[in-house]
Amino acid sequence: MQKGNDRKLKVAVVGCGGISRRHLEGYADSGRTELVGVADIVPERAEAAAEKFGSKPYGNVTELLSAQQPELVSVSTPPGSHAEIAIEVLRAGASVLIEKPPVLSLAELDAIAEAEQASDGSAYVIFQHRHGSGALRAADLLASGALGAPQVAVCETLWYRPRSYFDPDWRGTWVGEGGGPTLGHGIHQIDLLLHLLGPWKTITATAVRLDRPVQFEDVSLATVIFESGAVATVINSLLSPRELSRIRIDTTGGSLEVDHVYGYKDADWTFHPAPDAGRAAKLGADPGVRTATGDLAAAGAADDHDTDPWAASTGTEVPSSHKAQLNRVIDDLLAGRTHDTTLASTRPTMEFVTALYASSITGGPVNRADLTPGHPYYPALHGNVSQEEIDASMAI
């Protein structure tokens, strides 16, 4: 084994479909990994990936783990197989990096957590929007109170997927894909929203099927109450031709917003101070944000509405991407650190998704505190109710 700064992390990728390219390219571009194997149940896909990225092909994860000893395995198969593969990797003593959505239920998430407890490896999840420099900065400023206390938020994932997108037999089904845009698409923005605003408390939601040939929703809408007292609306759609991903957080100090589609740069983030934020800080009107807001106001006159304290910060730009997160994972594992996008840190996101489906099907609010193993939606996002009942709940 290589020593010190020259050591490379031994990695493998299971699942060589479209999203695997993000993992394979990220590992290759880092220059700090050794790809010891790729696996796919379709031999041609595994062979093509192995040839392109310089590795050995295997027919499945079991064959790969029998022949190699990777330290980290990326799981980029369809979501319905994530839990089973992740558990097998952990039982082999390796760490696992699971593509989103990590699982299809809280029960599966907790099964992986149980395997993790008994393993020398750890489980991590791909939520790359946490790892761009814009989000890192936003999280720090919100946590410090520098931008004021969050009050109102909007989270939008307005994407477009044609009917042909659902041609693969695993798509559009609860068993294979697990859910619609709430689980498979909007989960990116949902995770970032929760990462920025902290624990949520209650969700009331509606999910509808307007056009696409699926067993679940193609549009969902939710209202959310956070433990902090902040409130938010969340919308997820696969019917929106002009695509948009947006989070806006209105605080006592101003409006923070990121506007992009599949990945943001620093320029996609803006902060507009409240008209009276500078004066309030000078008068000490809000002791909770007095110092931070005062520092921001120092960049310009208290009454200058165009002053943007967000622009005052400088640093190295890192756009949100798989590459951004993979570089951090590699750094952390080579240094012997725990990567911060842990299974536990992403549980609130899966709880949110679970609650949204539960609320939309049952027609009532769902409290996060109730999402324990005894809850009817803990074992499955559709609550194991009949498809007829689901269809009725999603009909307009």
- Determine the distance from the C-alpha atom of residue 237 to the mean position of all C-alpha atoms in its chain, rounded to a whole number: 16
pLDDT at 285: 39
CA separation for the pair 124, 23 (Å, rounded): 14
pLDDT per position as a tens digit, 156-186: 999 999 999 999 999 999 999 999 999 999 9
CA separation for the pair 376, 384 (Å, rounded): 8
pLDDT at 282: 41
What pTM was estimated for this model as a whole? 0.90
In 192-314, DSSP assigns E strands to 200-208, 219-226, 231-237, 239-251, 254-260, 269-273
pLDDT per position as a tens digit, 269-311: 999 999 875 544 443 333 333 233 333 333 333 334 345 555 5
User: Is the bond into 101 cis (omega within 30 degrees of 0)?
Assistant: yes
pLDDT at 6: 83
By percentage, how much of the chain surpasses pLDDT 70? Answer: 89
Strand partners, 272: 255
In order of 104, 113, 196, 228, 264, the CA distances from 224 in angstroms are: 22, 27, 14, 11, 24
Ramachandran area for residue 354 (φ above 0: left; ψ -120 to 50: alpha; else beta)? alpha
pLDDT per position as a tens digit, 313-348: 557 899 999 999 999 999 999 999 999 999 999 999
CA separation for the pair 88, 94 (Å, rounded): 9
Sheet holding 57-58, edge to edge: 57-58, 33-39, 9-14, 72-75, 95-98, 123-125
